[in-house]
Structure formats: C-alpha cells, structure tokens
Structure 1
Amino acid sequence: MTVTGPTWEYDGYRPEEERLRESLCTLGNGYFATRGALPECAADDVHYPGTYAAGCYDRLTSEVAGRRVENEDMVNLPNWLALRFRPAEGDWLRPDTTPVAGHHQILHLDPGLLERRTDYGLPGGGTLQVHQLRLVHLADPHLAALRTEFTVEGRTLGLEAEAALDGSVTNSGVARYQELDGRHLTRFDTGTAAPGTVWLSCHTRTSDMRFGLAHRLTANFPVTHANEAHRAVQRVSLHLTPGRTVTVDKTVALHTSRDPAIGDPLHAAVERVEAAPGFDELRASHATAWEQLWRRTALEVPGEAGSILRLHLFHVLQTLSPHTADLDAGVPARGLHGEAYRGHVFWDELFVLPYLNLHLPEVSRALLHYRHRRLDAARHAARERGRRGALYPWQSGSDGREETQQLHLNPRSGRWLPDHSQLQHHVGSAVAYNVWQYYEATGDTDFLHGEGAEMLLHIARFWADSATYDPALGRHRIRGVVGPDEYHDGYPGADTPGLDDNAYTNVTAAWVLARALDLLNALPEPRRRELTDGIGLEEDEPDRWEDVSRSLYVPYHDGVISQFDGYGDLAELDWDGYRRRYDDIRRLDRILEAEGDTVNRYKASKQADVLMLGYLFSASELRALFGRLGYHLDDRTWAATVDHYLHRTSHGSTLSGLVHGWILARARRADAWAFVQEALRGDIADLQGGTTGEGIHLGAMAGTLDLVQRGLTGLETRGGVLSLDPVPLPELSSYGFPIRYHGHWGVHLRLRSGLLEIAVPASHHSPIGVRLREQVIPVVPGETARLVLPE
C-alpha cells in the first residue's frame, strides 16, 4: 500500500498523546467523521473512537449539583471502526496490554487516508505486523472502509479477527461532562443481510432519529456472524505463515433518518454496502474526489507554515465539504472531531465563512440557510425579552433554541458555577456580517434579497429595540450583555449579570443597522414591500434605525476604547505574579475562581474583544464606522488601544492568537509572527492544555487560512471590486491561491518578490475590477495582471 504526498506523522505509541492524535487524525467528508482511534481499542481513559454525523443531536436531562439540567449533544454514533484480533485462544492484542515493538501513524492529506503500522510482540515469540489504511469516502458520503494487512514473523500463527458495529457507546469523551447523562442511543436491533453483511439499527432517546449501519467483511477465509444485543459482529479465523501477508477489508455504510431520498436508513445502508465496490476502487474514487476539492481550495504556502495550513484546511474540508450543502447543519465549533462544547454551533462561522465564500460558496449558502431556518426561534427569543426582531442564541444545535449550559464546571475548584454566556447577543451581528460578506464575495442577489434580507432586517430590528436613550449622554446604550471576551460577565459585586455598552457589541450593532438601511434602499420596490409587509415594519422604524446607528455609545478611558462602560475603573492584575505562580494562565478565570476571586474585578481579557473590530473591518471601514457614530478614530488612538489590550489578555481561546496576529500584521508587523505562530500551532501543539483531544478548534483553523487569503493580502470584496492592500510579513512572503469570485472559477492570486499576479481564466464573464491602493484596473478573462507592489 504505497501512498505519496504531504503527511502528518506520529512515531511510537504514547498513551498520553492518544486523544490528541485521535482528533488530529480524524477522517470525515462533511456528512460524518470518525476520530483517528485504533480499531482494536474501545473507549477508555486513553482511547475514544467517536463517530459523529453533521446535525445529529439528542437532548437529555441530568441531575447536576442538586439541579435538573438539560443539555443537547451531538450524538456519538455506533462505532463502525471496531476490528480486534488475537492469537487463537489468546488475549485480544492492544497496545496498552501487549508489548509494542514499533508503532507509526501517518495521515496522508492529499488522498484523505489514515495509515498505521504496529508491530506486536506475540506470547511465545514472534511478531505480528499490523498495517491498516482507512478512509471516510469523500465521493460517497455514506461509505467508509478499513483495510487491514496482517503479517507474522518468526512463526506460524492462527489469528482470530473480529469486526463489529458497536452500539454500546456513550457520549463520554469530555471529562468535565461526566456527571451528565450521555446515553443517547436506544432500541437496538442487529441482524444479517446478504452473505458477508451484518447490520445494526438504533434510535436516539428523545429526538427519535434513526440510524442504520451495515458492514461487509472480505477475506480469503470463511467469515462467520455472531450478532449480539448491541453489536453486529463478524469473525474470521486466519492462518498466517511467516512473511506472507493476509488482507481483511471492512466496508461500512451509514444512513440516518435525516437523509433525503431514502425510505428507511437501515434498508438504505444495507443496499449501499452491498453495492459498494472493493477497497481499491473505493480508494481510487475517494482520491479523485479529494484531488478535485484540493484544486478548488488549496493554499500554496512554502515551508512549515504551509504544511500546518494544509492540515488546517484538511480538517475544515472534512467538517464542511460540498456534501454539507445538502444538509441542515451549522458550523460546530469543534468540528466533527469530538464532544467538547457538545457539538454546538457558536459564532465560529464568522471565522470560517470568509474562506468558504471564495472557494465553496454553495457551502456558505447552506450554512446561512441553517441560520435562516432558525429565524423563527430567534424571533421567539427576542419576544421573550420584550423586543422585536431576532435574537440568535449563543449556542445552538438542532432547532435554534438557546443551548448554552446553565452551569459550567471549573475543573480547578471542582465547583459548578452559573453560566451567563448566553448574554453574548453579538452572535446576531456575526450572522448579519456573514450574510453581507457572502453577498459581496458571490454577488448572489437572490439570496441577499431573499433569506439574507429577512435575517438582516430582523437582526437590525432587535438592535434598535435593544438600544435605550440616555439623555445625560445624549446617546443610545445597549445594556446587560457579555462581549466576546467572555471573562467579564458582570460588574464586581453586582446582583445581576451583564455589562453595559460593550464596545464591540455597540459598534457591530451600528454596522448592522447601517447595512439594513442600505439594503432597504437597494431592494426592488416590490420585494421591499413584501418584506416590510411581511415583518410588519412600521413607518418610523427606518428613521429610528438611522438615529441609533449614529448615536450608540462607545466608552473610552485613558485615551483608548473601553471594552465596556466601567472597564477603566477595574483593578490592574499582577500579570507577572500570576505567571510566576502558574505555568499557564490562559484560563485565568478558573485560576481566580479557585482562589475565591473573580476575573470581573480586573482589566483582564480571555481573548480579543475590542480588537475584534480590527479583525472584521479594514482601517478605512472602522474609521468610517466611528465617524458615523460621531467619534474620531485615528491611527494613534487605535495603536494605543491595541497596545492596551495586548498587555491585558491571557489568550484563553485559540481565536485570540489568530485575531492578534491578523491585527498586528497590519498595524505593527514586527510583533505579528509570534501570534501567527500561536494560531498555527494552537491545535497541533495542544496549547490550550488538553482541549484538542476533545475536538479541534475549527474557527481558529479556518481563520489561519483566511489570515493568508484576506489578512495578508488586504483582500476585500466590497462594491463589486476586488480590493488588495498586501502587507509584507517576512515569514509569509510568498503564497498563492485560487478563488471563486462573482461567477469566475479559479481566479488565481500569487504574491512573491514584491509582485502580485492575478490570473483570470477564460470565460464569457465580465472583466474583474482590481483595486490596488488607489488604482483600479480591469482584468479581462483569459488574461493575467502583474502589479508591482508599492514600497
């Protein structure tokens, strides 16, 4: 089994690294994904072979700290991967109980394959060499396959192999959730179909989703069936002679009751696995599908950074592939790679969609449809707070209700604490921003004037209704929220949670209101009348939106933008002291709570908050936004604001290094690379201290791709023109990538040696207008423009 191309490799068996390796070696296709666990190992303290299908959730109620707590989880599906083996009448071989003479794991990125080689020392002498290749098929999203080659050295061996579909799984992959009920699957049934095929079916306990799995075992020895209550099992007895390899192939099909164009998921799975070709043919069609996808999406960046970026893109595409366009699914913050955050959807599409917009716009549109289908739930949430419009939840899952937990566990203190993060109402602004960015990148007016307009206007309406006028300030204020920082969820000693006038929330709310007004003015009159009649827009509302968009309060202190009103009155933290006392202060909130203190008392942020404004908006846009609000934002004030928060942020989120790297690349590039490196290494080095083993951080991975695509190039898609303003970052000075822009496929941008090339493939489309600084030139399809960058 020869495989070539870029790889991600691990050598030697290290139990303490296994969860991290499983996450980073996950294989998926946008429909489902399976962690890179060893097939012979069941879930325990070391291994966790989870499989997750996009959008499949179940809700259970647990007793926690004397309270009944309801949680919805992305369901861990039956383990299709299980394949164990043992010498005849011996014990099952596992790396934790059997001597391992060698172990090597290779993730092949280009063809989407996971390879492993393990040499087991055998009782009585000799060595069993196990060589496996697995794939989760990218062309047919319902198929997966595992090839296992056994070779014995030193003696003849009788080997029993057992392949199973194992339904005795739970959601137990995150230690701090252990007190929550994780038994989501019920009503199991197993059976045998055609010769060589077994199946398993089950349901979720409350959402009543049905799952059907079937597998076919192929070997040159007789295969027997031994189905159990929760396991569909096939066994084969192999006779191994020294130096001769015996191959066993396992082909699996998975369907759920959410799939379109099927009757019954079990029947569909059995039919699909019976019709599936052999491993070699599956591998070939899988590799072809990956080749096509890489052609549309790949970044060309040399060196170590390029290798990490390719791994990041690989995991983004495994979570959000073209198959996602056919699903009702959002952007799970931890991918389909683990159970952290219970598989919920936060605001991470804010960091993901900008990359997808210019490569896989049909996927971006599907992810926005996920939000639109939950617009009624968002409107209901606003009404519950006595407001019009739409309030999107901070965490969502199946149906759009707020899924943020009521309590969260501090592992340092062992205490369950109230969770107020659902006050992060700024998620609505993220949805609106994504609607606008998608339109600017694609020119999709049908979407903007349809579902996009409905979301944008309802979100704008919520912000206008949330703003209250303060005559003493002569401005509107938004009270009782939590910003992106997340550490600060209330004022010191306050009885109620929430903060007033979070700068990020207020400025983005003003932006939403301004875009909603632009949209109303640009809509064709019949569509405008439909929308305004449909949502009951009152005659005076646009005037109020205009007023609020120009008068929202942005607090300042000491010449810098305040994170929220009153931030300047908080105490300074002894940062050096805490760094001396603790190895890692990224989760400063947990450290302080365990000491009986609270981060609410200090000027200390978990991640970028005010500085997120510099991530979302170019310098000119941000100046214009502040100007609309009646504030003068010059370079000196922004630089001082960057410095202020740079020294008061613990970077307790993988998104923090990304945002700081992006901003510093454009504001103070000498300091940017350290943060860019942190963003690149966040998951591969598990900088958050064990969190990657619970699932990768999808927003941060996608954000590093966009850092090259838009951050370093200054690429903007505003006003039907591709604007570029590259900044030289010495460590990332040469790169290229294709984009899909306004119907043009494969527009290729390349920067090297102070020269920017833009190649537009031949087509019948209109020329692309390209702006470099103040100069705009048309690039005709079939031509390449070469622009010398100003010093």
Structure 2
Amino acid sequence: MTGWTWEYEGYDPGGARLRESLCTLGNGYFATRGALAECSADDVHYPGTYAAGVYNRLTSHVAGRQVDNEDMVNLPNWLPLRFRLPGRPWLTPDTAPVLDHAVIMHLSSGLMERRTRYGLGAGRTLLVRQLRFVHMADPHLAGLRTEFTAEGFSGPLQVEAALDGGVTNTGVPRYGQLDGRHLTDVLTGTTAADRVWLSCRTRTSSVRIALAARFTSPAPVADRHDRPRAVQSTRLDLADGHTVTVDKVVALHTSRDPAISDPLHAAVDRVSRAGGFDALLAPHLTAWAQLWRRAELDVPGEAGRILRLHLFHVLQTLSPHTAGLDVGVPARGLHGEAYRGHVFWDELFVLPYLDLHFPEVSRALLHYRHRRLERARTAAHDAGLRGAMFPWQSGSDGREETQQLHLNPRSGRWLPDHSHLQHHVGSAIAYNVWQYCEASGDEEFLHTKGAETLLQISRFWAEAAVFDEGLGRYRVKGVLGPDEYHDAYPDASSPGLDDNAYTNVTAAWVLTRTLQVLHELPEPRRRELAERTGLDAGELEEWEEVSRLLHVPFHDGVISQFEGYGELAELDWRGYRRRYGDIRRLDRILEAEGDSVNRYQASKQADVLMLGYLFSPAELQGVFHRLGLSLDERTWRRTVDHYLHRTSHGSTLSGLVHGWVLARARRADAWTFCQEALQADIADIQGGTTGEGIHLGAMAGTLDLVQRGLTGLETRGGALWLDPVPLPELSSYGFTLRYHGHWGVRLRLEHGLLEITVPSSGRSPIEVHLPDRRSVRVEPGETARLPLPG
C-alpha cells in the first residue's frame, strides 16, 4: 500500500469476497463489486452491480410462514469477459494455474487494476492486465480495458464478452431461504456490429433496466444471444511478447432516471455517443481530482491511508450525482446485499461529514426522508399516535422494512425480530436536519421541509410520552435503544423496554430544538406551517413541558441504559471470552445456549454513550440541566467506565463511538477504539460481514472523528467552535471543509497550533471560537494562526 493505492498481492479464494467489497467501484448512481471479469457468482466470487434506490419486493416461505422482503436488486452483470485457448477450458484463477496475481485500487483516479499471469503449460504463460472504471463524470457509464500478452508462445486466443441478465440476489448466505429472483422479462438485441443491449424489469416494482455495451477489438466481433445473455466474441492472434487490447464500454439506465423517455433507448444512445476508453478516462480523472480537492484530508501514517480508503468508498456511494436522486444512505453502501440495501440510522454517522464537504448531497438525503414524511405519519397513526414515526429500516417508499424474523446462524433457529421498535431513528433524522442547516446556513430548507420534519417528529415524541403521576415525569415505554441486544425484559411476554436513556434524552433535545426553530421562523411561514399541520399554542406548551420532564433513569450513580437495567445480572465476561474467544455477537452465543442476553448487563454497542458522541460535554450538560438533572464530569466518567466494561462491540459503530467519547473522557484508552474503527472493514473484524458490503456509517464516522471528534468542531450560532483534544497517536493533521458558502476552508492542527485559511471570495468573514473564550474573525483571503490552550 501507498498513500493513494490499495493493493492485494496473490490470489486468495478465502478472502475473495472481502476484496471484492473493498475493490468496489461506484459513482453515487451505481456501483460494481470488484470481482474478476472472468469469474461468475459461486461460493468464492460474487460480482454484483447495484443502482442507488432500485428495490424490489418478494414474498418467501420461511419457517412455516410467508415473509415479505424488499431488497436492493442485483442488476444484470456488465462485467463478463472470459478467454481461453481454442478448444481449452475458460481460464479462471480457480481452474487454471496462477503464477502471479495482483489487484490495485488507484484511489486518486477511481481505477481498479488487476494483473494475472496464467500458466498454460510447456513454458507458456498469458499475462492479463485490466483497468476498470465506473465513470465519475458520466454516472451512466463504465469501462473495462483488457490487455493480453503472450509469453513463450504465439497463437490464437478466444475472447468472449457478455451482458448477463441471469443474475439473482444470493450474496448473503443467511438469506438463502429467501427468494432472490428479482429480474424478469430479459430481452437482448444488437444495434451495430460492435454493440449489444439487454433489457429487463424488476418483478414487482416494475423498474425497467437497460444496459448497452460496445466491444472494441482489433479482430472482427461476432454476437449471439443466449438469453438471458447477450454475447460478443472475437478471436485474437497473439504474438510472443506483444500485447493486444480489447475494450468494453457499457451504459446503464433505469426507468427511475430523470430526463429520459425510455431506459433502453437512453442506454443505446449513450453508449453509441460515448468516446473510446482513453477519451472517457480524461473526464473521469478530472471528476475524481475535483472530489479529492473538496474532501482534502491530510493525516499521516497508516491511519491516513485507511482514512483515504474510507473516504474513497463514501464518495463512491454518496457522490454529487446522489444529489439528483431520491435515495437514502444504504447502511452497507452500494457494495453488497447485507441488510438488503436498506436505509437505517447510519446517516447519523454519515451526514455530519458530508455537511461540511458536499452539503448538496446532505440536502438530497434529507429530502429522501421528507418525501416519506407522510408514510411516517401514517405509521404513527396506525400505532394510535400523532406525528411521524419513521421506520427503523427504510427502502423505496418509506414503509417499515424491518424483517419479522432473523436467523441465528450459530443455533440455526429463526427468531422474532423486534428492532422496528428503535424509534430513536426519528431523533437521528431531526439531528441531521439541524446539523445540516447549522453547517450550510441553508435557512430556506430549515424554514420549509426542515421545520416540517422537525415538527412531526416532535409531535410523535410528545404523543409517545405518557405522564407518570408517581414519578412526576413523562415516560416512553416499549422501545429499543441503539444497543439492540436488549429487546425485552427477562421472561416478558411482549417486547420493548421503558425509558431508554438515549431515546428520552434525544427526544427532549428534538423537542427543544423544534421549539427554537418555530420561535425563530418568519411569522408568515410560521402561520402557514401551523395552518397546514393544525399546530396550536396548547400543543407547544405541551412540548415545552415534555422537553423538561422526560424521565432519565439512574442506578449506582450512573445513567441507566433503561429503567430496570441496574437490576439485571452481571455476565461472566472473562468466562465467555475464555470459552468462545470472539464474543462480539454475544446475543447469538447466549441464544444458542438456551439463554438470553436480556438477562444481563451486556450491550452490543454504545447506547448511553451515544449521547457523548452526538453532543459536546457542554451541550449534553445543558440538556440534562433543562431536564432538571445534574450531569457533572464525575457522573459522566463513571457512566463511561460502567458501559465500557459491559459492551461486546458487536457493531462496527461501537469502536467509533467509544473512541470519540474516550478522546475526552479517558484519552489513554481512546486510540485502541479508534484503531478498531479504522480496521473494522479492512480486517473484517466482524468475521465475514465485509464481504457482504462495507459498513458505510463506520467508514464515514472515522472521517468525522478527525473532522469533528478530535477537533471538538461545532457549527452553531453562525460560527465555528473548536475545542481540540489531540491524541498522541494523531496530533498533527489537516483537512478542508465547506462552511456557509465558503469553499475550501483549510484547518490544520499541529504542535499546539491551529491554522485556519479562508479562500478569497466576496463572502463575510468566518467567526471562530476557542475554548479559552477567545474568538477571532478570519477574513476571506487570510490565514489565522492560533495557539491552543494547554
């Protein structure tokens, strides 16, 4: 590895799917996994192509019941390109001797390079080199260049390129009992001597998909149509020591695209007008160069290399092209089929980073939620509540997509899934609305769609909160927190927990912020909003009261994860680690033993500590103060220590949150968790999950750890607030950001000095606040060098 490449040497079938995920190429519109072009889907390889927002719903028969699932669809495979000596088997690394093999991801240019040397016997070898791109300038194009070099022989080579519509969703083994046949009505055709096309549609959502391919070879090209494949073939004459090149350029369109009349016509027209591979490469490289400038990140050493890889995959999933789409944040990127491509709360870890680099993308992702606000209101109404109850898992139309059952692969049993009770996803959406508007200064969004979203989420929390006369406080019952292990009280007949601290505190924050927004709205807009939503003064008074009286449980001087948490049994952590080694998925281990994690003070991931991730110490203390509660530094540190020793880190997000929180609470331990967050996908610490798709929230979260976590960066009140906590392992770094219309603001922290450079423009100066109460104004075109306290 270097700072701008990510390389895998040698062929490793056991690690193929991990590599294919991490070598995915995309452009925000679609992405293709890094499978080798000559390999088909099997137990080793899984080529997959996914377009953002393309879903399909199917009914499967599982464990004696019918189960509906909506999945992000594996689209027709545009990659296939295979080769062989005439009369011999097709060459693949699983069926032929591989003498050398390397895959190199060129991060700066968005190119995947592979080099494989096949042994053909009798001293003959064939060197295959390929370059692949998914075009970052034109989001509907992709290209594959293949170079063949004969070594020790001369003779013919048969090459066959194809578009394959016979694909299914089979990328996640534990979904094997679910129907994965999403495509139907596959048709193929030819438009010119070197061009073929394939069209199909999804079975129930009826999204039409079309691909067109142009195959360029120095020898004549023939085509045939073996449905569901369109095949192009050529016969190359190889000469010893000489290289022969073939190129494949592909266009992809779906019926969800704007400004087209028909996806097949659009794909055929686009591939016909596209330039050759070299001509297409130039604008692709320019687009990537512009992205890297906007998201410049200068972190030294191994951490910097991994962060650059994380940023690469964030940009491939959520690029400026995403701003024109109706899509959310897929938790596993466009890199695989885990979680069925659904949208969870992971945007909570992604949007704060995008806000300060690509605010237009953040705004589009918030539009996805606002377009589904009516569906969320319907869900709340069906539950007997007002306001908006957003789903834990969202897909095409915003209905609840959380599965009814999930498989414990350790026991082989299908178990009820109650994670739809994680209503805190609504608070995550509200938090992102607020953060986006503070970072971008987008008052138009805040006063319109943002205010309406906040209002309906607040209305839901005020409705869900029930006053307890004995406590003199409001309670929220029957929910799940971020922990996810605990979904019920021990031996309870119904799921749900009462007064999850994270849920209640964030609900109080949402109510408070919504009241602030409504108060600051221009009067005509406030009147319009009140008229359309039926909001009145009495409801606002109720929100004010609930925001001050939500119950937050404590036990033994620490914040309780939920009411009754302190009464649960302690787990023999040492004993379970000795018996099982990796106990990240402690819930599965206990269930397989006939036990339940609900009985123990044991968490999958950060829950209460998420409060320290979302809010600065001062803001969190302010929320508790508004609730009439004291949260001094000693109580918070005790709370951190309590949960630090009772968390199995069964989520890639857990190490990230703990690293963020410990940077301020227990700095000596912070880097261990930061390292775990950095390694989560590249080392596949969850034991095989990365091959099913990257963990986008964890990747973006590590970027935000550098951007906001270690700098203490807050965007509030029209100013930048900074309170750095440099770690010994990461005390010197820099990055650029976009703030209130200023492009390319540079921040650099090094040796107790903060340097801020504001590019020249006609905009107002940026106000910067430091923890010693200093504030400076940095004019456009100026650089401020500020010594940091301590």
Alignment match, 1:65: 63
Q: Matches of residues 89-488 of structure 1 in structure 2 within 5 Å? A: 89-488=87-486
Alignment match, 2:707: 709
Cα distance in 2 between the residues matched to 1:696 and 1:316? 10
CA RMSD of aligned residues (A): 0.9
Q: Give the superposition deviation at 1:331.
A: 0.2
Q: 1:4 to 1:479 in 2, by over 3 A?
A: closer
Cα distance in 1 between the residues matched to 2:581 and 2:498? 33
Q: Give the superposition deviation at 1:124.
A: 4.8
CA contact (8 A) 1:298 1:313 kept: no
Cα distance in 1 between the residues matched to 2:549 and 2:400? 30
CA contact (8 A) 2:508 2:548 kept: yes
Q: Give the superposition deviation at 1:241.
A: 1.2
Q: Give the superposition deviation at 1:538.
A: 3.2
Alignment match, 2:724: 726
Amino acid of the residue matched to residue 711 of structure 1? G
Q: What SS is found at the alignment partner of 1:81?
A: coil
Q: Give the superposition deviation at 1:125.
A: 4.2
Alignment match, 1:656: 654
CA contact (8 A) 1:147 1:248 kept: yes
Q: What SS is found at the alignment partner of 2:297?
A: coil
Alignment match, 1:782: 781
The normalised TM-score by structure 2 is 0.99
CA contact (8 A) 1:5 1:110 kept: no
Cα distance in 2 between the residues matched to 1:639 and 1:299? 31
Q: CA-to-partner distance for each residue in 1:564-589, whole Å, 9 max, x for gaps? A: 00000000000000000012100000
CA contact (8 A) 1:394 1:421 kept: yes
Alignment match, 1:513: 511
Cα distance in 2 between the residues matched to 1:537 and 1:725? 39
Q: What SS is found at the alignment partner of 1:728?
A: coil
Q: Matches of residues 614-653 of structure 1 in structure 2 within 5 Å? A: 614-653=612-651
Alignment match, 1:600: 598
Partner residue of 2:538 out of 522, 540, 556: 540
Q: Give the superposition deviation at 1:5.
A: 6.8
Amino acid of the residue matched to residue 786 of structure 1? R
Q: What SS is found at the alignment partner of 1:540?
A: helix
Q: Give the superposition deviation at 1:298.
A: 2.1
CA contact (8 A) 1:735 1:751 kept: yes
Amino acid of the residue matched to residue 774 of structure 2? Q
CA contact (8 A) 2:338 2:692 kept: yes
Amino acid of the residue matched to residue 760 of structure 1? V
Q: CA-to-partner distance for each residue in 1:62-88, whole Å, 9 max, x for gaps? A: 000000000000000000011011111
Amino acid of the residue matched to residue 579 of structure 1? R
Amino acid of the residue matched to residue 598 of structure 2? N
Q: What SS is found at the alignment partner of 1:732?
A: coil
Q: CA-to-partner distance for each residue in 1:142-172, whole Å, 9 max, x for gaps? A: 0000000001111113111110000110000
CA contact (8 A) 1:442 1:741 kept: yes
CA contact (8 A) 1:86 1:159 kept: yes
Cα distance in 1 between the residues matched to 2:155 and 2:788? 67
Q: Give the superposition deviation at 1:520.
A: 1.0
Alignment match, 2:487: 489
CA contact (8 A) 1:298 1:310 kept: no
Question: What residue ranges of structure 1 are gaps of 5+ in the alignment?
Answer: none
Cα distance in 1 between the residues matched to 2:452 and 2:334? 29
Amino acid of the residue matched to residue 89 of structure 1? G
Cα distance in 2 between the residues matched to 1:326 and 1:6? 29
Amino acid of the residue matched to residue 697 of structure 1? H
Q: Give the superposition deviation at 1:89.
A: 1.3
Amino acid of the residue matched to residue 590 of structure 1? R
Q: What SS is found at the alignment partner of 1:394?
A: coil
Q: Give the superposition deviation at 1:194.
A: 2.0
Cα distance in 2 between the residues matched to 1:195 and 1:85? 20
Cα distance in 2 between the residues matched to 1:244 and 1:116? 18
Q: Give the superposition deviation at 1:539.
A: 3.1
Q: Give the superposition deviation at 1:667.
A: 1.4
Identity rate, percent:
75
CA contact (8 A) 1:5 1:108 kept: no
Amino acid of the residue matched to residue 547 of structure 1? E
Alignment match, 2:45: 47
Cα distance in 1 between the residues matched to 2:640 and 2:510? 24
The normalised TM-score by structure 1 is 0.99
CA contact (8 A) 2:485 2:597 kept: yes
Partner residue of 2:566 out of 559, 565, 568: 568
Q: What SS is found at the alignment partner of 1:261?
A: coil
Alignment match, 1:554: 552
Cα distance in 2 between the residues matched to 1:245 and 1:461? 67
CA contact (8 A) 2:106 2:113 kept: yes
Q: Give the superposition deviation at 1:6.
A: 1.1
Cα distance in 1 between the residues matched to 2:141 and 2:764? 41
Cα distance in 1 between the residues matched to 2:550 and 2:296? 41
Cα distance in 1 between the residues matched to 2:758 and 2:243? 51
CA contact (8 A) 1:408 1:417 kept: yes
Q: CA-to-partner distance for each residue in 1:62-119, whole Å, 9 max, x for gaps? A: 0000000000000000000110111111100011110101101100000000000001
Q: CA-to-partner distance for each residue in 1:622-659, whole Å, 9 max, x for gaps? A: 00000000100000000000000000000000000000
Q: What SS is found at the alignment partner of 1:748?
A: strand
Amino acid of the residue matched to residue 323 of structure 1? H
Partner residue of 1:694 out of 683, 692, 695: 692
CA contact (8 A) 2:253 2:264 kept: yes
Q: What SS is found at the alignment partner of 1:717?
A: strand
Amino acid of the residue matched to residue 90 of structure 2? W
CA contact (8 A) 2:3 2:305 kept: no
Q: Give the superposition deviation at 1:668.
A: 1.2
Structure 1 residue ranges, 4+ long, deviating more than 6 angstroms after superposition: none
Q: What SS is found at the alignment partner of 1:690?
A: coil
Q: CA-to-partner distance for each residue in 1:643-689, whole Å, 9 max, x for gaps? A: 00000000000000000000001111110000000000000000000
Q: How many residues align?
A: 789
Cα distance in 2 between the residues matched to 1:195 and 1:367? 42
Alignment match, 2:752: 754
CA contact (8 A) 2:3 2:304 kept: no
Amino acid of the residue matched to residue 753 of structure 1? H
Alignment match, 1:18: 16
Q: Give the superposition deviation at 1:4.
A: 9.6
Cα distance in 2 between the residues matched to 1:265 and 1:435? 34
Cα distance in 2 between the residues matched to 1:463 and 1:342? 29
Cα distance in 2 between the residues matched to 1:144 and 1:756? 42
Cα distance in 2 between the residues matched to 1:5 and 1:784? 27
Q: What SS is found at the alignment partner of 2:436?
A: helix
Amino acid of the residue matched to residue 341 of structure 2? G
Cα distance in 1 between the residues matched to 2:349 and 2:179? 32
Alignment match, 2:82: 84
Amino acid of the residue matched to residue 762 of structure 1? S
Q: What SS is found at the alignment partner of 2:225?
A: coil
Question: What residue ranges of structure 2 are gaps of 5+ in the alignment?
Answer: none
CA contact (8 A) 1:4 1:108 kept: no
Q: What SS is found at the alignment partner of 1:295?
A: helix
Q: 1:766 to 1:559 in 2, by over 3 A?
A: same
